[in-house]
Amino acid sequence: MPLVYPVAPQHKLPLLLPLYLLAPAAVEVHRRLTASTWSAYGIAWDWPFARAAAAGFGVAAGGVALLVALQVGLGWRRWQPTGQVLTPKGAGFSPTGQAKGSIDDQLISAPSPGVVLLAVLPLALFVGWIEELVFRGVLVNGLVQALPVGLTAIREAIPVGIAVCLIFAVSHLLWDGPAGAPQLPGLAIMGAVLLLARWAADGSLGLAWGLHAGWVFAIAAIDALALLKPGKDGPVWLVGLPDQPLTGVLPLGLLVLTGLGVWALG
């Protein structure tokens, strides 16, 4: 049965997990065939790696929290108490996640915040690690070998950077289809920030992994806990299209500020 675009959030995880679980095994096979090491891909399970990952996670999650707080302060979003989710009575949800059914609202109980966070955190860490390993690790190394450039000289690595960022952005169309096209520039910027993070850390993926996982965790936790509900409509050019935040100036500004910080670090 062909995929229906955009893929509904509840269908993404079952599709992603098999692919993501295979990725480390595929990298291990490639590593053995090329007589390489995990550290060559930017993975080093030591204290500096963990410290960089923790710092990146805090910066990314904190940035999303500040962005949400700004939107709440401007009235574009409103806080909703945890543990209660407002949903139409007797309603179901369409494949796009929109409620359908009766317009009479009711409050339904939700899992405790602790349970939700314990479920979201390892998933965010895993997704961030796999995507960094594939895109900023294996893909970057492969392109560096194909092109006569180095990872330490940023100006020499521009062709590799552009290619990696474009591949990273376009790969998201696998789940969103043509509807995801407006987010491609924002995803490319996100990829550039994460690539800068590897460069700033002298080839280590610790900082990039932390940033990526922090963004995933913060956004997923806010959605899963149903912490926000719509307020007054904010300008689309500032907040982005529905379910496509990387089409707005404010989220893109957050990425750019993060990238500038990473650049200064490097």
pLDDT tens-digit readout, 194-242: 999 998 999 999 999 999 999 999 999 988 888 777 767 778 888 888 8
Return the top range by mean pLDDT from 58-62, 76-80, 101-105, 150-154.
58-62
Element (H, E) at 16: helix 9-33
Q: Is the pLDDT of residue 178 over 90?
A: no
Q: Is the pLDDT of residue 9 over 70?
A: no
- The conformation of residue 97, written as its DSSP 8-state character, comes to S
CA–chain centroid gap for 183, Å, is 13
**Residue 93 φ/ψ, nearest 5 degrees:** -125, 140
Cα 187 from Cα 181, distance rounded (Å)? 10
Q: Say how many Å lie between the first and final Cα of the chain, rounded.
A: 47
Digit-coded pLDDT (tens) for 243-261: 888 999 999 999 999 999 9
